[in-house]
Copies of this chain bind each other. A is one copy, B any other.
Amino acid sequence: MSNEKPQAAPASAVLDRFYGVIPAGGVGTRLWPLSRAAAPKFLHDLTGSGSTLIRATYERLSPLSGDRVMVVTGAVHRQAVRQQLPEISNKNLVLELEPKDSAAAIGLAAAILYKRDPQIIMGSFAADQVIAPVEVFQAAVREAVHTAAQGYIVTIGIEPTHPSTGFGYIRAGEQLRVAGAPSARSVVEFVEKPSADVAQTYLDSGSYSWNAGMFVAPVDLMLKHLEANEPVLYAGLMEIADAWDTTRRREVVRRVWPSLPKIAIDYAVAEPAAAAGDVAMIPGAFSWDDVGDFAAIGRLNPAAENSNLTVMGEGARVYSENATGIVVSDTKRVIALIGIEDVVIVDTPDALLVTTKEHAQEVKKAVEHLKASGDTDVL
């Protein structure tokens, strides 16, 4: 201890401030009928790895954070999340009485952690993303923590592999000089999902990366921007945080949470913070997938050799003849496919989806239609 330089904290001390936060929300409508309100995307093993997405997210973070991991999820998922993550203590399982969008979810985590220790650097990573290799991701997070310690909200930008119109983008600025974070850059702005033409110019410029919603930041800096932009939300979250580690938690949550405004963290914190020059970026040179639709499941679970058909599901009994595409089976039924190409079949006990990879994005429409027509038993 006597060898420590007082003027600069050693790398290990900076990393000791890290606290993982896993927001686990979002039904994953485009993965219906596999993913649904009662069994959202993050509770499924969509990669054939044997782990659910939330478990894989935890296992990516825990080598960095140890047991300092907080999960924010819907109250209805309490049991399922406990089962997936038995390591999470009651005080680190934040249950939303109702969905209030990402600023409330991530903001509450920041507020609770701030009350415990204002030095904490939180890292928020959604529960339903697929990342590999894990080591490259972890190296990026380490750089992000070092950069955050310099007073930045740090996002990890995903190197775009194609001109996607389905993601928001991050426009990087100049290189930053941060010890322990050689690839850190400033962020000029966050931009919304672009048109195809614009996406192509982003890709060509080399200055844009995909916004995967990963944020690593000192909790006090998160809260400072939240207070400036969303004072009502901030006040409510601080009131809940005050009561969190006390016997008043339940009463205060029940009273305050329903009154909170719904807003995305991007609008409440990230974009205004970028405008204020407080956002930095670490490029993420790992492969990343948000498993946005069934076409993603095909990518993440390549077909067996000598086959163009990806089959997922433990009990799957699939017979195919000249068929290509994806079958996700959540039943023990025999499924026979004959002479059909690029099909997507999702077979569950009470609902069946048949579409194509090309139309996988439109599954959302079916869900909206079913909701409108009152067929909510299968949503």
Contact = CB atoms under 8 A, between A and B. Distances in A.
Contacts of A353: 335-336, 338
B334 A355 contact: no
B354 A334 contact: no
A337 B366 CA distance: 8
Contacts of A350: 333-334
Interface stretch (A38-46, A94-102, A183-191, A340-348): A340-348
Given A321-B366, A366-B321, A369-B319, A351 B336 contact: yes
Give the one of A335, A337, A338 with max B CB within 10 A.
Answer: A338
Interface in A97-121: none
A317 interface: yes
A359 B319 CA distance: 15
Contacts of A356: 338-340
Interface residues of A, number: 36
Given A321-B365, A352-B352, A358 B339 contact: yes
Nearest to A345: B354
Contacts of A61: none
A378 B340 contact: no
Interface string A225-243: 0000000000000000000
B336 A359 contact: no
Contact of A343 (B354, B362, B365): B354
26 contacts: A317-B375, A319-B366, A319-B369, A322-B359, A333-B351, A334-B375, A334-B378, A335-B351, A335-B353, A335-B354, A336-B352, A336-B354, A336-B355, A336-B366, A338-B353, A338-B355, A338-B366, A339-B355, A339-B356, A339-B358, A339-B359, A340-B343, A340-B354, A340-B359, A345-B354, A354-B354
A33 B317 CA distance: 14
A44 B337 CA distance: 23
Contacts of A336: 32-33, 351-355, 363, 366, 370
Contacts of A358: 339
A378 B319 CA distance: 12
